[in-house]
Amino acid sequence: MKVLDLFSGLGGFSEAFLRAGDEVVRVENNPLLSEVPNTSIECVRQVRDRLLEYKQNGHPIRDIDVVLASPPCYEFSLAYSAPRVVAQRKGEEWNPSLELVEVTMEIINIIQPRYWIIENVVGSARYFKHLGLIPRQVHRPYLLYGNFPMFAKPKLPRKQDHDSYHGNPLRANIRAMIPFELSTAIREAIVCQKSILEY
């Protein structure tokens, strides 16, 4: 399979695909993550603009089977110190930017992959619905939106105490990393999915 992993961070979302030998391209804008295998350091807006230019100039868009995306969750988080919760404690209205989610949807619409999954935190549901996105599956703190085969809940590891990462510039990436068990369950569901043409 050919897989595009947007906002790839430490690569957890696409790791099962990579280990299985699939062709994975990861897109991340943090230069500190340039050493993560198969990572291209660029903004998703650049990816979107390049795809639009290819399409407008009549160039074929490369076939991608799966698009994975984990847009930043900070603005949607329900954690005590997250900006949304801080604003609520002050009685202020909170209107997070949905721009990166919109750019992700534009990329998906240009590529037209067979499967696509956007992952985010529980607090995203309230805002993503304004874009017509409803969670398809929930696995503990991971809300999965998109077009993908349903799968049984995998046994996920407990989140580690991240205080030990205090001062680490990649702390947010470590906290947000999707576990290998979830990546594996997603890949297995896709591989086992059959279309009517295969019967």
The pLDDT of residue 163 is 55
Identify the weakest region by mean pLDDT among 19-23, 110-114, 172-176.
Answer: 172-176
Residue 196, pLDDT above cutoff 70: no
CATH of residue 160? 3.40.50.150
Residue 94, domain extent: 2-198
Give 52-56's long-range contacts (Cβ < 8 A, gap of 24+).
Answer: 52/106, 52/110, 55/110
pLDDT digits 0-9 by tens, 31-89? 999 999 999 999 999 999 999 998 888 888 889 999 999 999 888 887 777 777 787 88
State the Cα angle at 135 between 132 and 138, rounded to 5°.
170
The number of domains in the chain is: 1
The whole-angstrom separation of Cα 197 and Cα 199 is: 6
- Please write the tens of the pLDDT for every residue from 141-159: 999 999 999 999 999 887 6
Q: Round the average pLDDT of the chain to a whole number and report it.
A: 90
